[in-house]
Copies of this chain bind each other. A is one copy, B any other.
Amino acid sequence: MITQKDRIQQLQTALCSWHAGFGIMKAAQHAVLVLCALCAMQEVQCGKILVWYTDGSHWMNMKPILDTLIERGHSVTILFQNASMFINPKEHARYDYHLFNVSMEMSEVVEFFDDFMYFSFYELDRLSYPSIGWRLHQLLHKDAELGIRICDGLLRSDALMEKLKQAKYDILFTDPIYPGSELLAEVLNVPFVYSLRFSVANSMERLCGQLPAPPSYVPGTMVKLTDQMSFSERLTNSVFYLLVDAMYRSIWTQYDQYYSEVLGKPTSFCELMGKADMWFIRTYWDFDYPRPILPNFKYIGGVHCKPAKPLPKDMEDFVQTSGNDGIVVFTLGSMITNLTREKTNIIASALGQIPQKVLWRYKGERPETLAPNTRLYEWIPQNDLLGHPKTRAFVTHGGTNGMYEAIYHGVPMVGIPLFADQPDNMMHMKAKGAAVIMDYSTMQTEDLAEGLRAVINDPSYKANAMKLSKIHHDRPESPRDEAVFWIEHVIRNKGAKHLRVQAHNLTWYQYHCLDAFPILIGIVVLVLILVFQTCKFCCRKLCLRSKQKKKQE
């Protein structure tokens, strides 16, 4: 814990630097700073934050929160392993690090990733449904196996585990996409907070987090449906929920076994996940369809977004040459460096047909059809370009991060989704009227040119993108501040069990009252039968009497 004494000392230093020569505005500025420091003193109880290993875009989404936590005086310790792709202690010297070794080479991670890409790009379009299911199952089992190996690398390192126990962390912050954090939290006995973009069909959130999701209007992530479903779509969504749940349950048995072994008592992955104090979901109602939520689920979509900075001079010069037509920003994400020659030529021809200047992030070979209005870049300052007043459209693969930057700045999109959640993401943007979608495998020059012209010239796309931007910004606090607040809340309250529903303590049939309702129906039927039998008996008696009476007469 960083003591209040240190904070008071900081404050005193600030106060001492005041003197009469300061102009009034300077003093005023200072006063604001001091007030802020005072507020911080009152509100923040600085804590020791442990961060579970994560990578790729997951790490990029965690960083802004961690940076803010550091600025607010917390200490942050990152767990990372020898096969990390993105985490580099030299780059981010403000954090503490604990390295652990995993029996895995970087090449193995890359190989798995390539395998996954091959499945997404080629097999998904070519295989039969049962084969897709089987391949997906294989891939997810491999993913689970890698996850357990990473987890094992940490948990079997007695020296590091002892260090972690001694350090007495206040909270564990983690992205559940890399499993094991819930097990570490259980072993260390610390509260933990998840930051999650999604699990397929939101199975983790529903089954382990107890997030209610009626399949009639809450489409599972990746099913490519909206919240307004026809009968057959509702049927599809329900089947999607059931199948993905079954698939996850099968994969989780691997974890269950490992977790039970480590803890020395029967437990399950889902049960431990359910102990999370808080879940940050990295969407919001700008992107997502309104749906039931829980008090310990906070929607922090766009947590990494920030205002645009000025562009590098040569880029700004190029942008300015676009005049009133403006520019188009084009990127298919950091994962795609090469496309087929045919595709690049199709794209380049389409880009040549619009009057806008185009900045295309592309590392591959220069396409022959590249027009003078288009420039290729190995890297672009994507956020700064999207926030530029001359930007008219964003051509994107539909990755969450880029899409959220477009929402933040109110830029309409042309989506060329490739794999994973990208088609589903773009479906959201299309449903909200802020994007058109291209089919990557069948897309021709005219399709892309048509899509670009629509998004740029039809004012409804810009208006809808601006509406999403307004929704994004019009909330009581920024997603980053919200995340930081609730992390500090968990630190202050040593957990947040007061926000966690009791559904976690019910079995599935208790949850759905499947034990209570049959009995209820039974009672109602019994009462109805009794009433019916009594009436029948009375009627008979009456009939008998009237017959006897008639006979007597």
Contact = CB atoms under 8 A, between A and B. Distances in A.
A167 interface: no
B31 A510 contact: no
A501 interface: yes
Interface string A279-317: 000000110011111111000000000000000000000
12 contacts: A25-B31, A27-B31, A28-B30, A31-B31, A217-B506, A228-B502, A234-B515, A234-B516, A238-B513, A290-B500, A474-B492, A476-B481
A483 B32 CA distance: 26
Contacts of A501: 217, 227, 289-292
Contact of A234 (B293, B471, B493, B513): B513
Contact of A293 (B30, B292, B492): B292
B503 A214 contact: yes
A534 to B, nearest CB: 17
Interface string A488-529: 010011000011111101100011110111011000000000
Closest 7 CB pairs of A and B: A28-B31, A227-B502, A24-B27, A217-B502, A235-B516, A290-B295, A292-B292
A520 to B, nearest CB: 6
A453 interface: no
Interface in A3-32: 18, 20, 22, 24-25, 27-32
A129 interface: no
Interface residues of A, number: 64
Contacts of A381: none
Contacts of A511: 214, 216-217
Q: How many copies does the complex hold?
A: 2
Interface string A27-41: 111111011000000
Contacts of A499: 285, 290
B482 A476 contact: yes
Interface string A218-251: 0000000001100100110011000000000000
Given A35-B32, A295-B290, A476-B485, A217 B503 contact: yes
Contacts of A30: 28
Contact of A502 (B22, B289, B295): B289
A342 interface: no
| Residue in A25, A295, A470, A477 with the greatest tally of chain B CB atoms within 10 Å | A295
Contacts of A215: 513, 516
A290 B285 contact: no
Contacts of A239: 520
A89 interface: no
B295 A294 contact: no
Given A28-B31, A32-B35, A296-B290, A285 B520 contact: no
A513 B214 contact: yes
A212 interface: yes
Contacts of A20: 24
Contacts of A489: 474
B216 A506 contact: yes
A35 B499 CA distance: 35
Contacts of A506: 216-217
Contacts of A502: 217, 227-228, 289-290
Nearest to A289: B502
Contacts of A27: 24, 27-28, 31
A236 to B, nearest CB: 9
Given A27-B28, A216-B510, A289-B501, 12 more contacts: A18-B24, A28-B32, A28-B34, A214-B511, A235-B520, A238-B517, A290-B501, A292-B294, A471-B498, A474-B492, A474-B493, A476-B477
B474 A476 contact: no
A481 B475 CA distance: 12
Contact of A216 (B234, B485, B513): B513
Contacts of A34: 28
